[in-house]
Chain A
Amino acid sequence: MTAATMLAPLEITLPKAPVGAWFEAAITWVQLTFKPAFDAIGEVIGASVDTLAGLLTEPSAAQLTVLAAAIVAFGLVRRGRPRPAALAVAVWLVLAVAEGAAGVAALAIQNLPAPLFLWAMGLFGADYVDPQLVLALLLLAALVATSLAATRSAAQWRLAGGSSAALLALFVAQHILGVQPALLVMLLFTALALAVAGWRLAVFALLGFLLIISMDKWEAAMSSLALILVATAVAVVISVPIGILAAYNDRASRVVKPVLDFMQTLPAFVYLIPAISFFGVGQVPGIIATVIFAMPPGVRLTELGIRQVDKELIEAGEAFGAPDLQILRRIQLPLALATIMAGVNQVIMLSLSMVVIAGMVGAGGLGNDVYTGIARSDVALGFEGGIAVVVLAIFLDRLTGAVTRFSPAARAQRAAR
């Protein structure tokens, strides 16, 4: 018998660290203290997702008109006329908000004994001649007029004319021929794919979205798409500035990196718990959890893209006396854009992967289908939801990938060849 075996087993009892309890206490405290802020954020996010989902599933005439107006305005900005475009959009925004809040335009329209108005009501039915549509049409008309009067660019004229004609065609198809909105939106996606990424993706979009429609998953898919787009937008708005900060400041970078690692490795479900306690059940906590989970590559690739820009180019900017902000805007961001877009692409892909998880907290959409499929062992339902997610994923991936090719740095690289 050796001495060692005779010793009683040494048991060191560590005090139990109440990490979970602390976390919960912190969550409760934050929830109570910032309740109004959370409510407001939830309100805004919820409203944007609803609007976007509405636009994607059943676009109203007003929304389509605003979309056409936005395309024309974008063209004006690119051709060096940002001021009239901004003015028109600002006036419209004020009127649209005033209408939404107080029905100002409706009042004005009702007081107009306009025969034109009555004729339009007769043609489309009173439902479609809503005040917002009138405002949107006025905006479009103003922008088209500006395009014709203030630019001498034939491309801009074509853009204005083409958008207006396409809008008219959509109206005719939807309200006179009675084509389903889903098919129209699908056609819009196909056109977008054709314009940005070429015919291969256009064919894919056509077939893929037809499949989704025929699986009867269109509404779920559009609801998920809306969720993804809003989550991506929020994630980009937050992550790009953080990435810029981290690129500029080594200390910030050292702080941000482990936080990002933490955010990315923590199981995504864990975000759902505080998100639900802050925002309740539904789409909003799903989006918040998605934003947190999907943000890291946005930050990382923004930082990387900006740090990658040749030091000598920054030095050249400095040597000619450019202020830091100008160097950022005119040298670093354009040259980092391709990398930043790769980050945005990653953000979108991660958001997609969160779709199913968000479905668990009642975010609806495809996630809901997949989740229900799992819960009920309904293979068919789950698989159809999964296929729809894959179609969305490929479409979004290729589309953002193609956008990258338009970045200045990528153009420069092509020129070098």
Chain B
Amino acid sequence: MPAVRAEKLYKVFGKRASRAVELLSDGRHRDEIRQLNVTAAVIDVSFEVRAGEIFVVMGLSGSGKSTLIRMLNGLLEPTSGTVEIDGTDITRLSGAALRQVRSRKISMVFQHFALFPHRSVLENAAYGLEVRGVPREERLEKARHSLGLVGLAGWEDRLPQQLSGGMQQRVGLARALAADTDIILMDEAFSALDPLIRRDMQTQLLELQASLGKTIVFITHDLNEAMRLGDRICVLRDGRVAQIGTAEEILNDPANDYVAQFVEDVDRTRVLTASSVMEPPIPVIDPGHGPRTALRTMRENQTVSAFVVRRNRQLVGAVREDAIGEAVRTGATDLAGLVDTAVERVHPDTAVADLFHQAAESPYPLAVVDDDGRLVGVIPRVTLLAALAPPSTESPEPAESPEAPESPEPAESPEDADQATSPPASGALAGSDEGSRQ
């Protein structure tokens, strides 16, 4: 069961909202229904957020991100569609039941922190538990713990205004963590911070999420942030879903020109990982075979080297054509002594940016090896270079024009839904400088 499920969500502001929904579901653009005097903020949005993932909603200003996230905890009521939290449709809940869901299942971090200026940092962090009626000592203890998690131990008795912006947002994060909900909504939580602090906060969020396993819905208008944080990303355009997918899918396979243009100037090497650029490991050589077979395999595939892999795909090493040819001439009968075991191995989640150095050192293609030592792919240097270039866009049409001959948007939604339910990519993207996230 997904942690959060949104199904055909619409939010239209204005009196004639339901008429507007009818028109919109017929595929009209939101600018076409302006004469109804309504603002369509969210149009036909469906997605699922799996427990424990960071789901990023990205879009330009006014694309409906805030409206969407506020429907997820019932701060705004959808004009139509449903929102399920752990399988409960919260759009049907009454006031008290809805408050129950908010205090037990979903907490929220705000763009401008929204800390209570008249309460100490500690009391701010304890707020969620206070609302829930947890006794004072107990809730302060938990708040102290979560302030410790975000690195604010020792600041408990200050007032929020006495802290810097980054620290204030840590208090906001601690408040959400202390509430002890499985789901955390973050609306542009880092957008008000300056770039260095922002990067710090992203790193910290990734670490916290890895250790606490929260489900996070994160909103941003910054593509790099989206790529860095998101297990999956939902790109919103004018209230509609433009594409949902992993960072690699969105980079390598943009659903339309809009997304393609959007991702054009992303630092691809930081987003793409070894697993997304690697090629199938052909040919491979069984360590039990003799030099002759090995030489023939290499000649057939026109390569000068090959990896030696056991039956269970465990990587043993690599062999070179010239060494094998020599061995065949001298009449050797097995590969003993010919296998070079010092090949460069990389993890599938390593960022492409971190591969260049190793690739330059190694005479062989890079061997992509998973946690169990199995060879899952190879990365020749040529492939690495090719990965730097953005995928060529066939259509010369400018992406901005709404009349662009991209597939009409309603037709997109089934496809989006497909993507939403497809299994996660083998590895989450690597974004942090430290390399792999796991």
Instruction: Tell whether B132 is near chain A: CB-to-CB under 8 Å.
Output: yes
A413, B102: Cα distance in complex, Å: 30
Decide if A316 touches B162 in the complex (CB within 8 Å). Answer: no
Among B73, B111, B117, B159, the residue within 8 A (CB) of A319 is B73
Give the residues from 114 to 130 in chain B that come closer than 8 angstroms, CB to CB, to chain A: 114-118, 127-128
Set of chain B residues within 8 Å of A334, measured between Cβ atoms: 118
CB distance from A33 to the nearest CB of B (A): 39
Chain A residues with CB below 8 A from B107, complex form: 319-320
Count of chain A residues with Cβ under 8 Å from any Cβ of B? 23
Q: Check if B131 sits within 8 Å of A321, measured CB to CB.
A: yes
Bound CA span A317–B73, Å: 12
B161 interfacial contact with A, CB 8 Å: yes
Q: Which residues of B contact A321 (CB under 8 A)?
A: 99-104, 128, 131-132
- Is A335 touching B108 in the complex (CB atoms < 8 A)? no
A280 within 8 A of B: no
Q: A310-B114, A408-B118, A409-B118 are in contact. Are A320 and B161 (CB under 8 A)?
A: no
Cβ A322 vs Cβ B159 within 8 A: no
Q: Which of B103, B111, B118, B158 contacts A320 (CB 8 A)?
A: B103
CA distance A270 to B110 in the complex (A): 52
Expressed in whole angstroms, the Cα–Cα distance for A265 and B131 within the complex equals 44
A403-417 residues at the B interface, CB under 8 angstroms = 408-409, 411-413, 415-416
A88 at interface (Cβ–Cβ under 8 A)? no
Instruction: Report if A331 contacts B (CB, 8 A).
Output: yes
Q: Which residues of B contact A318 (CB under 8 A)?
A: 75, 102
Interface string of A362-391 (1 = CB under 8 A from B): 000000000000000000000000000000
Question: Which of A315, A323, A412 contacts B159, CB < 8 Å?
Answer: A412
For the complex, is A180 an interface residue (Cβ under 8 Å from B)? no
Say whether B99 contacts A323, CB under 8 Å. Answer: yes
**Chain A 301-323 residues near chain B, CB threshold 8 A:** 310, 312-313, 315-323
Which of A317, A323, A335, A412 has the largest count of B CB atoms less than 10 A from its CB?
A412
Query: B117 contacts A315, CB within 8 Å?
Result: no
Nearest-neighbour CB distance to chain A for B56, whole angstroms, equals 19
Check A320/B128 contact, CB under 8 A, given A315-B75, A331-B116. yes
CB distance from A250 to the nearest CB of B (A): 15
Q: How large is the interface on B (under 10, 10 to 19, 20 to 34, 35 or more residues)?
A: 20 to 34
Residues of A near B106 (CB, < 8 A) are 319
Residues of B within 8 A of A409 (CB): 117-118
Report B260 CB to chain A, min CB distance, Å.
35
Query: Given A312-B110, A408-B118: A326 and B162 within 8 A (CB)?
Result: no
Classify the interface of chain A: helix, strand, loop or mixed.
Answer: helix
> B179 at interface (Cβ–Cβ under 8 A)?
yes
Bound complex: CA of A318 vs CA of B102, how far in Å? 8
Whether the pair B116, A313 counts as a contact (CB closer than 8 A) is yes
Bound together, the chains give a CA A415 to CA B132 distance in angstroms of: 29
User: Do residues A416 and B114 form an inter-chain contact, with CB atoms below 8 A?
Assistant: no
Bound together, the chains give a CA A317 to CA B116 distance in angstroms of: 9
Residues of chain B lying within 8 A (CB to CB) of residue A323: 96, 99
**How distant is B14 from chain A, measured CB to nearest CB, in Å?**
17
Asked if A326 contacts B131 (CB within 8 A), the reply is yes
The verdict on B112 contacting chain A, using a C-beta distance below 8 Å, is yes
Indicate whether A320 sits within 8 Å of B127 (C-beta atoms), given known contacts A334-B118, A415-B159: yes
Q: A331 to chain B: which residues have CB within 8 Å?
A: 116
Residues of B within 8 A of A (CB): 73, 75, 96, 99-104, 106-108, 110-112, 114-118, 127-128, 131-132, 158-162, 175, 179, 185
11 intermolecular pairs with C-beta atoms under 8 Å apart: A312-B112, A316-B114, A316-B115, A319-B106, A319-B185, A320-B108, A321-B131, A322-B103, A335-B118, A409-B117, A413-B161
Task: Give the 5 A-B residue pairs with the shortest CB-CB distance, closest first.
Answer: A321-B103, A408-B118, A416-B161, A321-B102, A412-B117
Known contacts A319-B75, A320-B128; 8 further A-B pairs (Cβ under 8 A) = A312-B114, A319-B102, A319-B107, A322-B131, A334-B118, A335-B118, A408-B118, A412-B160
